[in-house]
């Protein structure tokens, strides 16, 4: 079946603008994760969902970042008042959410804030 789909693949925005990044997980995967990866670093945990609810949002850096998953499938990561330091690759992953299920990653969205 289809893998994790992220759109857009690239996003360039100006400082101060609002952006939305979309993730469509593998069908049937109840857990969905957002990570942020900067060059030369490992993926940095932001938030993960079990179903519709955010099970852990402790990685969101500040209140400019928000994520939703209203129907337990597609998720949107929203960033307000973007800053140059937000530039990174935003990775979405999904898993079965049971026991020790491995994560399956999308291709990421490369966000550039100018």
Partner 1 sequence: QKEVEQNSGPLSVPEGAIASLNCTYSDRVSQSFFWYRQYSGKSPELIMSIYSNGDKEDGRFTAQLNKASQYVSLLIRDSQPSDSATYLCAVDISGGYQKVTFGTGTKLQVIP
Binding residues for partner 1, per CB under 8 A?
31, 33, 35, 40-45, 48, 50, 55-56, 91, 95, 97, 99-108
CB of 15 vs partner 1, minimal distance in Å: 25
How far is 59 from 55, CA to CA, in rounded Å? 11
Nearer to partner 1, 8 or 16 (CB): 8
CB of 104 vs partner 1, minimal distance in Å: 7
Nearer to partner 1, 17 or 110 (CB): 110
Pairing status of strand 109-113 against strand 10-13 = parallel
Evaluated on CA atoms 41, 83, 111, 46, the torsion sign reads positive
CB of 79 vs partner 1, minimal distance in Å: 20
């Amino acid at each position: 079946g289809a893998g994790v789909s992220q759109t857009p693949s690239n996003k360039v925005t100006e400082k101060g603008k609002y952006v939305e990044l979309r993730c469509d997980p593998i069908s049937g995967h109840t857990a969905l994760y957002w990570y942020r990866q900067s060059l030369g670093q490992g993926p940095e945990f932001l938030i993960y969902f079990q179903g519709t609810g955010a099970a852990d949002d402790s990685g969101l850096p500040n209140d400019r970042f928000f994520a939703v998953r209203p129907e337990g499938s597609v998720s949107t990561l929203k960033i307000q008042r973007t800053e140059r330091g937000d530039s990174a690759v935003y990775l979405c992953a999904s898993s079965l959410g049971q026991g020790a299920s491995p994560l399956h990653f999308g291709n990421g969205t490369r966000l550039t804030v100018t």
